[in-house]
Amino acid sequence: MEATGNGVIGTPATITSQGLSTGGGLGAIAIRGVGKTFKTGKTSFRALDNIDLEIRANEFVTILGPSGCGKSTLLRIVAGLEEANEGAVCVDGDSVVGPGADRGMVFQGYTLFPWLTVRQNIEYGPKLKGVSILERRAISNRYLRITRLEPFANRFPKQLSGGMKQRVAIARALANGPKVLLMDEPFGALDAQTKLEMQEALLDVWEKEKTTVLFITHDIDEAIFLSQRIIVMGAGPGRILKAYPVTLPAERTSEVREHSEFLKLRRELAALLKHKEE
């Protein structure tokens, strides 16, 4: 691992014939020199400036930062939902030019189809791709099991709690077989206890599925609990301030929240974010 100029730690990117690559494994993300300016009428707003970030395959990286620093814009660029004005994003060496099945998204709002059951929601993507009924059933069985939703397979979204709905959203994203899971404050609307449960559930899923996760939050504790690495962004214009590797035990049970490393990192991150907001 190497630290680059802005403190970002990761495997150095190389330029291949297809574009940027961060080496072996599936789901490596290379973000190079990404900039974004929004233009509204005669005014323009610099939302992101020269973002350089490399994420290894199967890594869990969280982007932490105050409201408006460009976290969602960056995630949307990686998702292919927004175009950068400068720079490039590659997943396993392939340039991102639009949304793709290699990148699954989970947002804060529950984006489930209300007229479909939990199982049908999970099977929706594979069905669109023409996957056979038998295969679809195997896929939904797998993700119902992994997200512990088996007893709720035939319920409709309105019959579920917020936490359950987000489990379905995660299962639905995973059912498309993405290499990368892009998560934009997925637990932001949940109550405190459900949020903690969902964080543990997500780590469980991540360990089983081996996808790369790029997760956005402005909750310091959530970032430390989940991540292998935390990237702190600042605003005006949106840029990377610092990267922190999280050296907590791989097994993240609730006791980890009392770990001295957890508390030290929390103090450091709070001080950095407070300083930037002053």
Binding positions for ligand ATP, rule: CB under 6 A: 38, 40, 45, 47, 65, 67-73, 218, 238
Q: Which C-beta is closer to ligand ATP: that of 71 or that of 179?
A: 71
Tell me whether residue 141 is exposed, middle or buried, using C-beta atoms within 10 angstroms of its C-beta: 0 to 12, 13 to 18, 19 or more. Answer: middle
Query: Could you tell me whether strands 29-40 and 86-91 are parallel, antiparallel, or unpaired per DSSP bridges?
Result: antiparallel
Q: Which C-beta is closer to ligand ATP: that of 45 or that of 113?
A: 45
Alpha-carbon distance of 239 to 17, in angstroms, equals 28
Non-local CB neighbours of 242 within 8 Å, separated by 6+ positions: 6, 7, 231, 232, 272
CB of 137 to ligand ATP, least distance (A): 37
Alpha-carbon distance of 23 to 11, in angstroms, equals 7
CB of 74 to ligand ATP, least distance (A): 7
CB of 223 to ligand ATP, least distance (A): 13
Q: Which C-beta is closer to ligand ATP: that of 37 or that of 228?
A: 37
CB of 25 to ligand ATP, least distance (A): 28
Q: Which C-beta is closer to ligand ATP: that of 181 or that of 233?
A: 233
* DSSP string for residues in 168-196: HHHHHHHTT--SEEEEESTTTTS-HHHHH
